[in-house]
Each structure stands twice: as structure tokens, then as C-alpha cells.
Amino acid sequence: MDLEHHIGFGSAYASVFGAEPEYTNYPGHWSGVVDYVWYTPELLTPFAGLKVHPPEVLEAYAKTALPNCQYSSDHVPLCMDFSLKPAALMGNGRY
């Protein structure tokens, strides 16, 4: 199911990597994307991010889903780097 909004946010992962990760939650009985890093395209530019490991890498450590002895959560870490656009630095009265 695709959800749409008109808030003006963009997905940082889709912008940097061309698509959302394969999963952000991997408890074993199901996996999918439930976590996102949203940003305001008029003010920020995402330029780098932490890649999400393929499931084979996660399972190689503990032969099981998440959480396990290597990963303490059933959600994988997400991290993005952003640069500020000039409008954000000058303050346009919007934010």
C-alpha cells in the first residue's frame, strides 16, 4: 500500500539511495519499512547515509531475526547527513 501526503516532506533514504531500504524492522515473522527519515527539501539536502545491511548479514551473526545478541532492537539504525540550503541559513520567516 502506498501512502501519499501533501505536507512537503521528502524521504532522505529515497533521495540519497534511490529507494527506501528493503526493511527497517526485521523481527522474523515479517519484515518491512516502518521507519523513515523525513526532511524539508526547500531547506535541507541529504547527501550521505548509513546503508541498511541485507538480511543475510544480520542473520550471519546470530542465525535469527532481530533483536539478537548483535543487534539489540528489532529496528535497524537509520542515519543521514544533511547540508543546509541558503534559505535555511538566511531564515525566510517560515520556520
Q: Is position 95 within any domain?
A: no
Q: Is position 3 within any domain?
A: no
Q: Is position 28 within any domain?
A: yes
Q: Is position 25 within any domain?
A: yes
Q: Is position 34 within any domain?
A: yes
Q: How would you classify the pairing of strands 38-39 and 80-84?
A: unpaired
Output the pLDDT for position 93. Answer: 56
| Residue range 80-92, pLDDT digits in tens | 999 999 876 676 5
Q: Using DSSP, how many helices (H) and how many strands (E) does the chain show?
A: 3, 4
Domain boundaries, position 32: 10-90
**CA atoms of 36 and 14, how far apart (whole Å):** 10
Q: Is position 1 within any domain?
A: no
Q: Is 18 left (phi over 0), alpha (psi -120 to 50) or beta?
A: left
Domain count, the chain: 1
Question: What pTM was computed for the model?
Answer: 0.79
